Structure 1
Amino acid sequence: MTKLPLAALALALLAAPAFAAGDAAKGENEFKKCKACHSIVGTDGTAIQKGGKTGPNLFGVIGRKVASEDFAYGESIKAVGETGAVWTEEELAVYVANPTEWLKTKLGDAAAKSKMTFKLAKGGEDVAAYLASVAPAAAP
């Protein structure tokens, strides 16, 4: 009788999406690929990572609303932001692997597209962990 609940639990765990926590130190190195378009600049103007301005400043991106008002985002990502979605490490890792596919999935719209053409084939979890590590401290 107890085998059935255990089997059901095992099956549920296997079916759940897996997310391996990233390595912030590796992510800092991987971020070099992102610097062509992105910077990380604190609210006081301190540059944590100098970079381009084609993409948004990624300071505090983890925990921030998707497509927040501080950048001229494309229509598809703005539509995701309008749902109230917030960036998590997991979501950001999936997004950077294939931004357009992430948008299509989130919106259920095959015509959705991203202005971010770069795809980070591997290391997204590490970059997300790095961005979380340089985020402002959570408010008490």
Structure 2
Amino acid sequence: MFDTMTLTKAVGAGCGALLVFLLGSWAASGLYTFGEGHGEDVTQAYVIDTGASAAAEEPAAEAVPFPELVAAADAAAGHKVFAKCAACHKVDGSDATGPHLNGVVDRAVASVGGFAYSDAMVAHAAEAPTWTLEELGAFVENPKGHVPGTKMTFAGLPKEQDRANVVAYLASLQ
């Protein structure tokens, strides 16, 4: 059974393991931290230029109106970007998870017959009755932010050129 020597060995092994873990933690914190909490100023050994300071100094470029971006956009490139949309939307006149998008430019919002739009999208149709170029661009940028409560789960296209290309592609399907 358990005798005094066995108990002493078990407690010693536990204390030894704890000591190894504490010393390892102390050594690692000494290697990977510096100057924190000791009142010292921390200086970097080197600086990586990310261009953020140059970008901050440059004057902001004038925003180009979205319809002008669409006019100069590449519909072929938009067709490639549309592959992200094609998982839920078709352009052959039939509905899928989302309504069909052929003829969507200048079409009334929430107007595809037989498609069950969310209440939020139907309410949005009162605010913005037509899918203009600007409206499509704003919606495709952030669907849930533009129409809170929409069924559309797509996160959006943050790049303005991608949005312009997709809208140009959709406009070419009229």
Contact 1:89 / 1:128 at 8 angstroms: preserved in 2?
Answer: yes
Distance 1:69 1:58 in 2: 9
What TM-score results when the alignment is normalised by the length of structure 2? Answer: 0.54
1:138 paired residue number: none
**Mapping of 1:20-99 within 5 angstroms?**
20-21=69-70, 22-42=73-93, 53-70=96-113, 71-83=115-127, 85-99=129-143
Which structure exhibits the higher relative contact order, with contacts defined as CA atoms closer than 8 Å and separated by 6 or more residues? 1
What TM-score results when the alignment is normalised by the length of structure 1? Answer: 0.67
- Percent identical: 45
Which of 125, 130, 136 matches 2:169?
A: 130
**Letter of the 1:80 counterpart:** H
Alpha-carbon deviations, 1:86-120, whole Å to 9, x = none?
A: 001221111011112112xxxxxxxx321111122
Query: Displaced runs of 4+ in structure 1, greater than 3 A?
Result: none
Call closer, same or farther: CA 1:84–1:91 in 2, change over 3 Å.
closer
1:18 paired residue number: 65
**Letter of the 1:40 counterpart:** V
Report how many residues are paired. Answer: 105
Distance 2:164 2:75 in 1: 9
Distance 2:139 2:112 in 1: 19
Compute the displacement of 1:84 (Å). Answer: 5.8
Alpha-carbon deviations, 1:55-111, whole Å to 9, x = none?
A: 0000100010011142111111101113461001221111011112112xxxxxxxx
Of Structure 1 and Structure 2, the greater helix share is in 2
**Letter of the 1:31 counterpart:** F
Unaligned runs of 5+ in 1: 1-13, 46-51, 104-111, 136-140
